[in-house]
Amino acid sequence: MKVLLTTLNAKYIHSSLALAYLKSYCAKGPFAVEIKEYSINENLEKIMMDIFDKKPDVLAFSCYIWNIEPILQLVSDFKKVAPDTIIILGGPEVSFDSEQLLSQYEDIDIIIRGEGEITLKEVLEAIYSRQDLKGIKGITYRWQDKIYQNPDRELIKNLDIIPNPYSEENLKGYYRNKIVYYETSRGCPFNCSYCLSSTIKGVRYFSLPRVKKDLLLFMQNKVPEVKFVDRTFNCHEKRAREIMEFIVENNLATRFHLEIGAELLSEEMLDFLKKVPRGMFAFEIGVQSVHDHVLRAVNRPGNWEEMKGKIRKLIAYGNIHIHLDLIAGLPGENYSLFQHSFNEVYNLYPDVIQLGFLKLLKGSPIRTQSREHGYKFNFRPPYQVLENNYLSFAEIVKLKRIEELLELYYNSGSFKNTLRYLVKEVYEDKPFTLWEEFALFWEDRGYFAMAHKKETLYGLLRSFIEKEKGFLAEQAAEILKYDYFLNHRAYMLPPDFTSHNPQGISEMVYELIRDSSFIDRYLPDWSGKSPREIRRYVHLEYLPAWVIDKKAGDKLTPILFVYNQVSKKAERVIDIGKIM
C-alpha cells in the first residue's frame, strides 16, 4: 500500500514538521510512506499531475488556513480521476468542523482531528488489513454514505515516542534549502482566546536528553536556520536556559528562532542572554497590545511596563535579533488606542515589527464570542477581521496600508537611519503619525497599485519628505544616501539623488586599497587580496560629516563602505577624512 503525505506550504523554503512527524511515526508499518511538499504559489494542475503520477493508494493532506481552499479543489478534482484513492485530511483547519466538511465535500473519506501521529498509523493499519474504523479515536469518516464521528483521542503524554524525523541524510538532501522546524514542547501556558493553543490545556515536553540529541544533529550538520514552533519556549525557564546553554556550547553555524514571553524573563536569564554569541538567536515576542484591559479581554496576562523594560534590555544587548508582534482588531482597542500601542512598540526600535490582523480561527474562543464585540470577518480563510465595535473597516484599511509600508521600509532594515531621524527630529517620537501620513501620500498617488524596485523606494520617501517637510529635504536626502550605500553594493545613486564625489574618485579608491599599511590596519581580512578583488567590495562616497557623527559639521568627508561578500551590505564604514 502506497501512502503519500502532502501539503501546500506558504513558501517554497518552508517545510512541514507535521508531515515529517507523521512519516517518522508510521515508518515501521506494513506500507510505504512518502512525503511530497508543494507551495501555494505552484500551479494546481501541475501539482495534481505530479500526485497522480505517484499513484497513491492513500493520499493525506495537512490543512491550514493558508492552504485549505486549494487543497479542497485538489481533493475534488483528484477523486474524479482516481476514485479508489482514499483521501485523508488533517490539521487545525479541519479539526473543529469535521462533520460539516464531510457533509459538504463528498470526496473526503476521513478527517483526523487533533494530534495525528497515533491516529494516522491506526487508520493506515486498518485500511491495510481491511478492518473497519469504528474503534479508532480522533477521526470523523464516511462509510456507506453515512458520516461517523468517533470520540476524541487523548493527547500524547510521552512525546518521546515520536521518532525524530530528521537525519544527517535528509538534512543534507530533502531539507538542504529549506527552513527546518522543530519543537521541544507542545501546548502553551497561556489561554489567549484568539489562539488554538487555548483549546488544549497545559504544556507537554520532549525529554531534555532527546532534545539535546536532536539539536546536536542540527548543529553538527550546520543547518542554517532552525525555527522552534514551541508556543512559549521559555515558559519553563530553567529548562529553556539549559537548552540554550547546550546550544551555545555546541553550536557551529546554526541560527535558532524562538517565540518567547518577555514577561517571563528573570534577571538571571537576562544576564545569561546578555552574553550569548551575536546572531545565534532570534526572539519573536508577541506584545499584541500594550493595554491591560485589551489583553484581559483575550485572556492574556500582561504588564506592559514590566515587559517593555525587559524588551528594552534585550534590544540594548545587540546580540539577539528581536521581532515584536502587534495585533490590530483586538476587543476593546480602537484606532487611537492601537496608535498608542504602535508608538510604544516602535519606539523600542526592534529589528522587526509585525503588524498583524486578528484572525477568528475555527475552534478559537474569540470566534464564539464574535457577536459580543460586533466582529465582522472574512467568511473564507484566513477569517481576518473586517471591523468590530472598536475599529471600522475604513480604519482597518488605513492600518493595512501602514502594514505594507512597514514591511517595505522598516522591516527591510534598509532605511534605519532615515526613519529614526524622521521619528526623532520631525515627528517627536510619534512614529504612527509618520506612517499614517506616508500611507496617505502613497494612496493619493496610486503607489500601492504599482510594483517598485528597491532603488525606487528611496526616491519615493524623499519625495514624501520634500512635500510634507520641505525644509528638511536636503538633510534627509543625505541620510537616505547613507542608508542606500549601507544596504546596496552600488557605484551609482538612485535617480534624483546627487553625488558630492569629486572627479578622480576611482583613483582615490585604488590609492587606498593599494596601500598595504592601510589594508593591514583597517581591512586585515583582505590582506593578501589584489586591489582589483578588493575594489569589488568597497565604495567611496563623499557625505556631510554629520551623517555619521552628529557633532560634526557640514564639511564633506569621504566615507568608505566595506561590503560583506555574501549579503552585499556594508559590514564596516570608515571615515577616511579622519585618517587622511
Q: DSSP alpha helices (H): ranges in 94-226?
A: 98-104, 117-128, 168-172, 208-220
* Per-residue model confidence (pLDDT) at position 522: 92
Nearest to 51 by CA among 15, 75, 67, 29: 75
* Per-residue model confidence (pLDDT) at position 28: 85
Determine contact, residues 138/153, Cβ cutoff 8 Å: yes
Q: Which domain holds residue 477?
A: 393-398+408-491
Same domain, 48 and 143: yes
- C-alpha 391/C-alpha 333 separation (Å) is 8
Give the pLDDT mean for 105-125.
97
Angle, vertex CA 117, rays to CA 9 and CA 65, nearest 5: 30
Same domain, 307 and 178: yes
Q: What burial class does residue 329 get, using C-beta atoms within 10 Å of its C-beta: 0-12 exposed, 13-18 middle, 19+ buried?
A: buried
Asked whether residue 573 is domain-assigned, the answer is yes
* Per-residue model confidence (pLDDT) at position 554: 87
Same domain, 321 and 235: yes
* Per-residue model confidence (pLDDT) at position 406: 98
Q: What is the CATH number of the domain that holds 92?
A: 3.40.50.2300
Choosing from 433, 463, 491, the residue where a domain stops is: 491
Asked whether residue 114 is domain-assigned, the answer is yes
Determine contact, residues 534/523, Cβ cutoff 8 Å: yes
In the chain, what percentage of residues exceed pLDDT 90? 89
Q: Mean pLDDT check: name the lowest of 241-245, 267-271, 533-537.
A: 533-537
Same domain, 12 and 104: yes
- C-alpha 198/C-alpha 193 separation (Å) is 6
Radius of gyration for the alpha carbons in the chain, expressed in angstroms and rounded: 27
Same domain, 242 and 267: yes
Question: What is the per-residue burial (b if ≥16 Cβ within 10 Å, else e) of 90-129?
Answer: bbbbbbbebeebbeebebbbbbbbbbbbbbbbbbbebbee
Under the banding of pLDDT at 50, 70 and 90, the label for residue 409 is very high
Tally of domains within the chain: 4
Determine contact, residues 208/239, Cβ cutoff 8 Å: yes
Cell of 445: 498617488
Asked whether residue 58 is domain-assigned, the answer is yes
Asked whether residue 155 is domain-assigned, the answer is no
| 580 has pLDDT over 80 | no
Same domain, 319 and 437: no
Maximum pairwise Cα distance, the chain: 87
Per residue in 420-458, pLDDT (tens digit) is 999 998 899 999 999 999 999 999 999 999 999 998 999
Same domain, 297 and 373: yes
Same domain, 375 and 447: no
Same domain, 242 and 326: yes
Same domain, 333 and 204: yes
* Per-residue model confidence (pLDDT) at position 474: 87
Q: What burial class does residue 174 get, using C-beta atoms within 10 Å of its C-beta: 0-12 exposed, 13-18 middle, 19+ buried?
A: middle
Choosing from 439, 462, 491, the residue where a domain stops is: 491
Note the pTM of the prediction, 2 decimals.
Answer: 0.94
* Per-residue model confidence (pLDDT) at position 496: 82
- C-alpha 314/C-alpha 396 separation (Å) is 31
Q: Mean pLDDT check: name the lowest of 118-122, 254-258, 298-302, 304-308.
A: 298-302
* Per-residue model confidence (pLDDT) at position 553: 86
Strands (E), 462-529: none
Same domain, 521 and 384: no
Strands (E), 69-171: 86-90, 110-112, 139-143, 146-149
Asked whether residue 63 is domain-assigned, the answer is yes
Same domain, 177 and 61: no
- Residues composing the chain: 580
Tell which wins on pLDDT, 525 or 208. 208
Nearest to 357 by CA among 331, 335, 330: 330
